[in-house]
């Protein structure tokens, strides 16, 4: 699983560990000059591993834009745990604040690279291992998309384009996997109480990130554990008939 140091990724790792999964947890554990806020740290990734249990989780430091790192993470899962049953692409980032035509090259590259390319590279590494399982297979590929994957949002053109790309990628992957027994789905959170929320608010010059809750019908922010619950369900056996879906966990943000 990628993006595991904090936020939705860390919450998902903890939930999956509680459900009995054994985990390879990936995070870059370094800042990116194109992003205006600090990213997760090696200490935070270690904390996630500790919360999951050192007997069932292992940390891998790697960038989702680095195919070799992701291939290595999958190899670690196969070597340590005997195979790969599910892959969760949860790494994400956000930056914006300018109209699309004024978007800087490094902003565009960071959003497409981390948000979209990272999901593609995760699939590129993980899907062959999922398909290597003997039939009948029960593999799962889950990507964390966003309400921005179906909405147009001002001043976030690169981020929105990347998240729309994630939705298309997952749907195409589901079509290609077909009756293989491996499913592909996306979870689309609304404004979630993570470190990225302050960066989202800054795009719109909001002093209080909680103001973003007004875009939800429920008039509250989403909690990372709520997103994690949906991801965990999609990884489990009860979601076998669900593939190519984009499931909203957004407090009604996309319902109107």
Active-site choice (159, 189, 228, 248): 159
b/e map of 180-203 (b: 16 or more CB within 10 Å)? bbbbbbbbbbbbbbbebbebbbbb
37 is catalytic: no
b/e map of 131-140 (b: 16 or more CB within 10 Å)? eebeeebbbb
Query: Of 114, 70, 74, 108, which Cα lies nearest the Cα of 91?
Result: 114
Which residues make Cβ contacts (< 8 Å) with residue 10, sequence separation at least 6?
Answer: 4, 44, 47, 48, 51, 224
What is the C-alpha separation between 84 and 256, in angstroms, rounded? 38
Catalytically annotated residues: 159
């Amino acid at each position: 699983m990628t993006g595991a140091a904090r936020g939705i990724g860390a919450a998902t790792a903890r939930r999956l560990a509680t459900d009995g999964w054994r985990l390879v947890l990936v995070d870059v554990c370094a800042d990116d000059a194109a992003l205006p806020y600090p990213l997760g740290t090696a200490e935070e990734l270690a904390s996630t591993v500790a919360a999951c249990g050192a007997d069932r989780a292992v940390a891998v430091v790697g960038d989702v834009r680095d195919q070799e790192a992701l291939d290595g993470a999958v190899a670690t899962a196969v070597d340590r745990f005997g195979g790969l049953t599910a892959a969760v692409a949860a790494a994400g980032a956000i930056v914006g604040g300018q109209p699309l035509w004024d978007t800087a090259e490094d902003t565009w590259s960071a959003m497409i690279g981390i948000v979209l390319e990272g999901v593609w590279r995760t699939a590129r590494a993980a899907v062959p291992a999922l398909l290597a399982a003997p039939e009948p297979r029960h593999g799962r590929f889950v990507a964390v998309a966003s309400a921005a994957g179906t909405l147009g949002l001002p001043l976030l053109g690169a981020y929105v384009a990347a998240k729309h790309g994630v939705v298309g990628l997952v749907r195409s992957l589901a079509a290609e996997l077909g009756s293989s027994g491996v499913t592909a789905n996306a979870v689309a959170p609304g404004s979630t109480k993570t470190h990225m929320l302050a960066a989202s608010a800054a795009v719109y010059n909001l002093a209080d990130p909680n103001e973003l809750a007004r875009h939800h019908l429920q008039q509250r922010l989403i909690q990372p554990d709520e997103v994690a619950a949906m991801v965990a369900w999609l990884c489990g056996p009860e979601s076998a008939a669900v593939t190519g879906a984009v499931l909203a966990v957004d407090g009604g943000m996309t319902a109107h």
